[in-house]
């Protein structure tokens, strides 16, 4: 299967529509969001310090993620692991470290909307913008098994997450536990397929 330039253009168009939708939604809820923001952060650090900490945090997470991916990929390649396996596990975990850190801290501080928004927004950005832009630069060949089996697993887990999140408007610990167990089971299945 080939993800061509036309497919990439469609992805980018959908991403632009999504950004416009988010922007308009933000404008309609601006007063509510501003009021809540002031309520939550009036006793926090001054603006300049928040900006400095944010930039420093981003740099640290990005550098750490890059080092993790580079070294882990080298080790996996030396061990003779397939590229698809490296991409689905090591690279995926490494690039998700920023989301893990951000969402974990946000959830700990009771900012559930930020935690969920970070994960959903990151996935939308990766699928629509990153894949769209990359395939427009150069068409991407996709392994059929990755598209069928792993793609179906991703779709199932996404639907399960939506079911958990929309039924009670809250993600409980046991639901998070189910998602973690499913991911660990998926990793075991991938590793088992290598031997």
Q: Is 24 exposed, middle or buried (0-12, 13-18, 19+ CB in 10 A)?
A: exposed
Tell me: the pLDDT tens digits for 171-194?
888 999 999 999 999 888 887 876
- Direct distance between the N- and C-terminal alpha carbons of the chain, in angstroms, rounded to an integer: 26
Q: What number is the average pLDDT over the span 126-149?
A: 85
Q: Which residues pair with 3 in a beta bridge?
A: 140
Q: Is the pLDDT of residue 11 over 90?
A: yes
Entry field: residues in the chain: 195
Q: Per residue in 79-99, pLDDT tens?
A: 777 777 777 777 777 777 778
| 153: Cα separation from own chain's centroid | 16
State yes or no: pLDDT of 42 exceeds 70: no
Q: What is the pTM of this model?
A: 0.69
Residue 132's Cβ-side half-sphere holds a number of Cα atoms within 13 Å equal to 15
Taking the domains of the chain in order of start, what are their residue ranges? 2-142, 143-195
Question: Does pLDDT of 41 surpass 60?
Answer: no
Burial state string for 57-75 with b = 16 or more CB within 10 A and e = fewer than 16: eeeebeeebeebbeebbee
Which segments within the chain are labelled E, that is strand?
2-3, 140-141
d(CA 148, CA 49) in angstroms, rounded, equals 47
């Amino acid at each position: 299967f080939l993800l061509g330039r036309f497919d990439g253009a469609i992805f980018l168009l959908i991403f632009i529509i999504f950004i416009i939708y988010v922007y308009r939604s933000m404008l309609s809820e601006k007063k509510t969001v501003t009021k809540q923001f002031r309520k939550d952060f009036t006793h926090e650090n001054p603006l300049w310090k928040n900006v400095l900490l944010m930039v420093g945090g981003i740099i640290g997470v990005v550098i750490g993620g890059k080092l993790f991916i580079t070294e882990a990929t080298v080790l996996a390649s030396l061990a003779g692991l397939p590229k698809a396996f490296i991409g689905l596990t090591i690279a995926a975990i490494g690039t998700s470290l920023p989301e893990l850190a951000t969402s974990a801290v946000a959830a700990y501080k009771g900012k559930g909307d930020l935690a969920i928004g970070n994960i959903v927004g990151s996935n939308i950005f990766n699928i629509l913008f990153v894949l769209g832009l990359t395939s427009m630069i150069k068409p991407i060949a996709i392994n059929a098994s990755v598209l069928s089996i792993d793609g179906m697993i991703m779709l199932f887990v996404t639907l399960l997450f939506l079911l958990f999140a929309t039924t009670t408007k809250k993600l409980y610990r046991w639901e998070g536990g189910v998602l973690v167990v499913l991911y660990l089971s998926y990793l075991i299945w991938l590793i088992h397929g290598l031997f």
